[in-house]
Amino acid sequence: MRAVIIGTGGYLPERAVTNDQLAAEKGLDTSDSWIRERTGIGQRHFAAEGETASSMGAAACRAALAQGGADVAEVDCIIVATATPDSAFPSTAARIQGALGVTRGMAFDVAAACTGFIYALGIADALIRTGQATGVLVVGTEVYSRILDWSDRGTCVLFGDGAGAVFLRAGDPAPGDGLLSTHMHADGRHGDILAVDGGAGSTGGTGVVRMAGREVFKHAVTKLASAVDEALEANGLDQSAVAWLVPHQANVRIIEAMGRKLGLPLDRVVITVDRHANTSAASIPLALAEATRDGRIKRGDLVLMEAIGGGLTWGAALARF
């Protein structure tokens, strides 16, 4: 048995904030042109009072199940990738399980920052291949607006809130179909270049995002390229087989560099960073949801996903829809 992606779903908070609005509201010494030139970001969504990682994640799950024509009774596992959980425990996954009315199976969170969705896909795939699960909701959901330092224009302009989900069903697809492989890596020696300063178990810190942007960019280009090569080689495929690149939406320069590496024109790369900003673990499933709903990604398309995040963590996944 292997995992087949049955449905995708996304949720964005109602409030969209443009670069100019953000600069005015937060008193930032920045501008729309400064942000766009360096990141490609034009706006982001911010969660409303009372919206949480679990409430947004549950909405994305409902959308994924609906698109796939699936019922909550099929769900026996929920894996949530998030760096902004509702609480230290219970897990955000358990809260989503309760909100959906799922009463069987397992639910747990994965902490791998922006690479979390790739990690969660890999775990879901392993659970399905070993027969421990048959219907898995894989969710990325984040409320980064609550862990940003609004005096640091180098980081606070980069992030937004949102949630995305996919529903995986165990099946016996034809060779070359379904979730083909996932490839996950980490190197904790570089953890401090992108991290949250403090947390529930810390003895200090401020609890906000800190980033050494140039260092992260340098690692991103080389490590993502390596993960992409690994995924293609593992499946005996070359770059020409890829129909769509769905990358983590951190910076349009990195996205464009990966498109060039694969020889893909930009119209074969799903880009949402301009409207969503960096939604961390939610960025890939949000982009998948958008591209499957508007008809860009069709059944039979080979889709390559890749991400890098704090840890450092990075990875790639290859799936035929």
The SS3 assignment for 101 reads coil
Catalytic site includes residue 278: yes
Q: How far apart are CA 162 and CA 82, in angstroms?
A: 11
Q: What tokens does 26 get?
A: 């937060």
Catalytic site includes residue 251: no
CA torsion sign for 174, 176, 178, 184 is: positive
Q: What tokens does 150 get?
A: 């609004």
Q: Which of 45, 190, 248, 276 is catalytic?
A: 248
Q: Which of 19, 156, 185, 278 is catalytic?
A: 278
Q: For helices 213-234 and 252-261, what crossing angle results, to 10°?
A: 30
Of 165, 162, 133, 173, the residue nearest 66 (C-alpha): 165
Q: Which of 45, 61, 77, 114 is catalytic?
A: 114
Q: How far apart are CA 36 and CA 300, in angstroms?
A: 34
Burial of 10 (0-12, 13-18, 19+ CB in 10 A): buried
Q: How far apart are CA 6 and CA 217, in angstroms?
A: 34
Q: How many helices (H) and strands (E) does the chain have?
A: 10, 13
Would you please indicate which residues are annotated as catalytic (active-site) residues?
A: 114, 248, 278
